[in-house]
């Protein structure tokens, strides 16, 4: 059975430390690690520009860069490739800060065996994949919400978003015209009667508009800016009511 390969960029200037990492990862039974080495920051960035990797093992203390600056520059070049910091005990403060800045994990030199090192790499890959999935879902959600907002804003019918308590959260221009009231004046008003019934019905707007005006109202539950809300669609039927009265 062929082992699943993981391609790792090892950024390490100390030959002894680099040899140890290679030796430990070569002992892993479940994975075959293909290791490419960079011995300074410039080499690392060059590798990342021309090749694809599953993970980066990064020493923060390099001949041409040190500390958090090393991590930030490698992360910028690595884009979505997960980074595991391989730190000496003197770099522990930098290592923990690197995790705060986006490193998936860190291991301490002299404190890990092949199992701990391979587990850190594999978990880093899994966590990074999950973060990418979440980001994609958030981007899709934002796009969907933008499209939803555009449809509601530009609809020829009056559209209102109300909280579950009936408080007005948003009105489109057509609703402003229907109510003869600007959005800021309608915002935060409570209109629980608009959402009292789910079925389509006629609604008398006269008290709110200051003149005889009627709307056909439909309501449905939607998610608006992350909150469950009511969407009330109001079609002006004032002329129809007048015609019926004549």
Please list the residues that pair with 62 across neighbouring strands: 65
Task: Give the orientation angle of helix 114-154 with respect to helix 15-26, to 10 degrees.
Answer: 90
- What's the CA gap between 35 and 81, in Å, rounded? 15
Contact between 10 and 40 (Cβ < 8 Å): no
- Which two three-digit tokens encode residue 66? 């040190």
d(CA 93, CA 18): 22
- Sort 48 into a burial class: Cβ within 10 Å, 0-12 / 13-18 / 19+: buried
Beta strands 83-87 and 55-58 are: parallel
Note whether 124 and 84 are within 8 A (CB): yes
pTM of the model: 0.65
Query: What is the percentage of the chain residues whose pLDDT exceeds 90?
Result: 49
Q: Which pLDDT does position 246 carry in this prediction? A: 66
Note the pLDDT tens digit of each residue in 10-33.
999 999 999 999 999 999 888 899
CA-CA distance, 48 to 184, in Å (whole number)? 52
Q: Percent of the chain, pLDDT > 70?
A: 97
Token pair, residue 12, equals: 């390490």
85-132 per-position pLDDT tens digit:
998 866 678 788 888 888 899 898 888 999 999 999 999 999 999 989
Q: For the chain, which domains are there? A: 4-139 (3.40.50.2300), 155-245 (3.30.450.20)
**In what side-by-side order are the strands of the sheet with 105-108?**
31-38, 4-11, 55-58, 83-87, 105-108
Average pLDDT of the segment spanning 212-237: 89
- What pLDDT score does 79 carry? 92
From residue 137, give the alpha-carbon distance in Å to each of 48, 63, 78: 26, 40, 22
User: Does the structure show a pLDDT above 50 at 1?
Assistant: no
pLDDT in tens, 42-62: 999 999 999 999 999 999 999
């Amino acid at each position: 059975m062929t082992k699943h390969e993981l391609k790792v960029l090892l950024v390490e200037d100390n030959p002894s430390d680099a040899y140890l990492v290679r030796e430990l990862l070569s002992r892993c039974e479940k994975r075959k690690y293909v290791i490419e080495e960079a011995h300074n920051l410039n080499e690392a960035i060059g590798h990342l520009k021309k090749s694809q990797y599953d993970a980066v093992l990064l020493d923060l203390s390099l001949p041409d860069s040190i500390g958090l600056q090393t991590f930030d520059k490698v992360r910028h070049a690595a884009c979505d490739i997960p980074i595991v910091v391989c730190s000496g005990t003197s770099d522990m403060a930098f290592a923990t800060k690197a995790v705060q800045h986006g490193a998936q994990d860190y291991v301490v030199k002299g404190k890990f065996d092949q199992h701990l090192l391979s587990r850190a790499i594999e978990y880093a890959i899994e966590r990074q994949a999950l973060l990418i999935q979440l980001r994609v879902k958030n981007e899709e959600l934002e796009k969907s919400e933008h499209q939803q907002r555009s449809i509601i804003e530009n609809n020829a019918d009056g559209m209102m978003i109300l909280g579950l308590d009936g408080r007005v959260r948003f009105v489109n221009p057509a609703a402003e015209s229907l109510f003869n009231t600007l959005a800021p004046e309608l915002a935060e008003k409570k209109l629980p009667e608009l959402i009292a019934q789910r079925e389509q019905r006629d609604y008398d707007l006269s008290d709110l508009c200051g003149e005889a005006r009627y709307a056909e109202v439909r309501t449905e539950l939607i998610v608006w800016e992350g909150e469950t809300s009511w969407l009330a669609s109001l079609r002006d039927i004032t002329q129809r009511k007048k015609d019926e009265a004549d």
